[in-house]
Structure 1
C-alpha cells in the first residue's frame, strides 16, 4: 500500500481509534464534542470536533478534513467505507446497502438475489403471489414457516397473522455468511460462517462445515458480487444460500459485520476484522491463519417479558458436534453459558 494513504475515522469508538493508531496508518479523526477528551491522548493534533447532532456541520467538517488533509479513505464506526466526501467509493457501498439497487445489479448475473418483501395483513397473499410458492414467511424475531402449496398458504392466512412479516422465496441449501475485507479492489475472505434457524433461536457455526468445493464456491461468489458493484475498499458481510442451482444472494452489508460472527472468527482464528483492514491500509501483509477449532453461538428466542431480547451464548470445541452439544446444553439450562469451558486448542487465544 502506498505511503500516501490517509484514513479518516468518523465518530469511531475508542477501541477502533486505538487499533488504527497501532496499525501505523496516517490517521485523522472526526469526533463529537462530548467525546473530545476520550481521544486527546490517542490522536493529539489530528482530531476535529463537531456537534454530532448537526448534520450540516458534520458534512462540512468531513468535507473540509478530506480536502485539506488529502484523505484517501473514510470509515465510520460501523465500518461503512465512505461518505459523500469520497463519491466514487460511496456509490458502491450504498448499492450494497440497498437491497433493491443490489438486486437490479445482480439480476442478470450468476448470483441473483433471493426475492423477499415485507408485507402486512391483506397484502401478504398478494406478496406471496408475486414471489411464487414455495415461500418462507418470517414473523416475530425468529419464527418462520415454509409454505409449499396453496392449501398451506390458505390455512396459514386463516390464522389471522396481522404482520408485518417477511416473505422470502424458498431456496434449499446451506446459508453462509462470508466476511471480507477489500483494499484497492482486492478482496480477502476472512471467514465463512454457517447460519440457520433452530427451534430455540438463530444459530451460527464458524467455520462453516462445507466440503472444499462448496467452500471455494462460497468465497468466489462473495468476491464476484463485490466486483460486480465495483466495491474498492472496506469490510463487508455477504449472506448466501448455496443451492443446487448455484449461489443465491440474501444480502450484502458493507461494514464490520454482525458482532456475533466477528466474535466467532476471532475466537477460532485470532483475526480481528477491524485490525485486519487497518493493517492492510498501513501496508502490512495478510497473516495466513488456518482454523483447526470451532466456535458457535446461538441468539436464543426471547422469552415473554424479556427486555430487549436474550443475549447470545458462545461455545467452543474441537468439532462441530461438540459445539452444538454445548449450545444445546446452554439452551436447556435456560440460556446460560455452560460453566465448564471447552478444552483449549493448542496455541489458541480464546
Structure 2
C-alpha cells in the first residue's frame, strides 16, 4: 500500500492532539464514536481534521473495515490510538497488517494488561513481583501465601466488572471482597514505598525518560492519587535505577514508538513496576512537564515522527505540582474560593466539576477525582506552600450521604 508520510488516522483523539499534529505538518483523519467521546469536543476535532469518520467502537468488524478503507483511500502512513478501551485491539491489529502501526499490538497488550505485565516481568529477576493467577475463590488463600501473605493486592480478571486492584489487609477482608467479585483473580504482593510516574517517549526503539514525577496517594484500598510533583525529589542513584527499570520494561514488551506512562514503586530492594500504559500521562502531568521543563511532550511526539525527528531532552528549571481536592462523598451544598484560586498568577489550571446540588461520589481511582489545581514555584518548598494555600482557599460544604 502506498502511503503519504504526512497523513495520519487518529482514533478517539482529543482536539488538542489533532491540533498539535496539524501544527507539526500532518493532515489528520479522525475516527469518532459519539457514545465514547464528549459531544462538546466534536466541533474542535472537526475543525482541525480533514474529515471525521463516525464509528461504533464496540462493532469490531465494522471498525476493522473502516480502518482499512480509510488507510487505503487516504494513503495513511500513521495510525494513532493513544487511548484505550474496546476498539484498541482491532485498530492496532489492522494497522499492523497494513504496515502502518507504530508498535506491534502485542506491545500494547503486554503493557496495558496487568496480568500480562506480571507474566512478562516474572523471568526478569530485578523487576519480578510475586503473583499468582487463580480461577476460583477457594484458591485465593493459597495464592496469598505464595505472594508473601497479607497485606496483598487483588483484582478481578473477569470481563465487564470493576477490575481495579485493591489492597486487602487480612483474611476477613479478602473473603468479603471475593464474595462480591467474580473470578478469575490476580493476586500480587504489596509493593511498599514511594510511588513515581515515569513519562517516556520512544523513537525507533530508543527510550527517552522525559521526566519522573513523584505521586502521593491517599492510601488503601485504592491508593487514589492526591498529588503529583515534578521533578521528583530523587537522588542520582535512585533516579538512574528507576530510569533503567522503565527502559528495561519497554524493551521486554517490544515497544518501539510513542509515549508511555509507567508507575514505579521504589521499594527497599529497588524499583518495581506497578503498572504501565502506552499513551500520554494523565492527571495533569503533561502540564507539569511544560511548566517545569518547558517541554510540550504531546507536540514533541508528533515531531519525532518526521524524518530526522529527535527525542527531547531538557532540564527542569522550576517545580510544578498537581493537587487534587479530596471531598467527602455526599451532596454538595455550597462552594466558594474558585474565583480567588483562578486569579492567582502561580495557578495554571483549575478543574472542579461539581455545582451546589450535585452528588459527590467517593473517589476510587484517577477518573473519579473531585477536581484539581496546578501550581508552580521556584523550587519544591515554594510550590508546596502555594499548593497548601490554594487548598485552604477552596471551601466546599458537603452534606454526607445517608
3-state SS of paired residue (1:259): coil
Correspondence 1:256 to 2:308: no
Q: CA deviation at 1:236?
A: 0.7
Structure-2 change in CA distance of 1:201 and 1:256 (3 Å): closer
3-state SS, counterpart of residue 86 of structure 1: helix
Q: How many residues align?
A: 326
Q: What TM-score results when the alignment is normalised by the length of structure 1?
A: 0.76
Residues 242 and 248 of structure 1 are in contact (CA less than 8 Å); yes or no, is this contact kept in structure 2?
yes
Measured in 2, the distance between the counterparts of 1:173 and 1:96 equals: 22
1:44-82 Cα distance to aligned partner (Å, 9 max, x none): 4xx252333654332211122234445343112538796
Name 1:52's counterpart in structure 2. Answer: 56
Q: Would you say the 8 A contact 1:25–1:282 is kept in 2?
A: no
Give the Cα separation in 2 of the matches to 1:77 and 1:157. 36
- 1:126 deviates by 5.8
Distance 1:170 1:30, change over 3 A: closer
Give the CA deviation at 1:334.
4.6
Equivalent in 229, 245, 268 of residue 205 of structure 1: 229
Aligned pair 1:304/2:329, yes or no?
yes
Q: Which has the higher contact order (CA 8 A, sep 6+)?
A: 1
Match 1:129 to one of 123, 145, 167: 145
TM-score, normalised to structure 2, is 0.67
Partner Cα distance (2:175, 2:63) in 1: 49
Q: 1:197 to 1:160 in 2, by over 3 A?
A: same
- Could you list the runs of 5+ residues in structure 1 that have no partner in the other structure? 148-152, 337-350
Task: Decide whether aligned partners of structure 1 residues 317 and 74 sit closer, same or farther in structure 2, where only a CA change above 3 A counts.
Answer: same
Deviates more, 1:161-170 or 1:73-82: 161-170
**Alignment counterpart, residue 218 of structure 1, candidates 225, 242, 261:** 242
**2: distance between equivalents of 1:134 and 1:5?**
53
Q: Does 1:42 align with 2:66?
A: no
Asked whether 1:174 is paired with 2:194, we answer: yes
Which of 363, 385, 391 aligns to 1:325? It is 385
Q: Is the 8 A contact 2:148 2:189 kept in 1?
A: yes
The corresponding residue for 1:236 is 260
Separation in structure 1 between the aligned mates of residue 234 and residue 15 of structure 2, nearest angstrom: 37
Question: Are the aligned partners of 1:65 and 1:71 in contact in 2 as well (CA < 8 Å)?
Answer: yes
RMSD: 4.0
Distance 1:325 1:136 in 2: 35
> Is the CA contact 2:129–2:189 (under 8 Å) kept in the aligned structure 1?
no
* 1:335 to 1:135, Cα distance in 2 relative to 1, 3 A: farther
Find the aligned partners of 2:371 and 2:45 in 1 and give their Cα distance. Answer: 30
Give structure 2 stretches of 5+ with no counterpart.
97-102, 156-163, 331-359, 362-367, 397-402
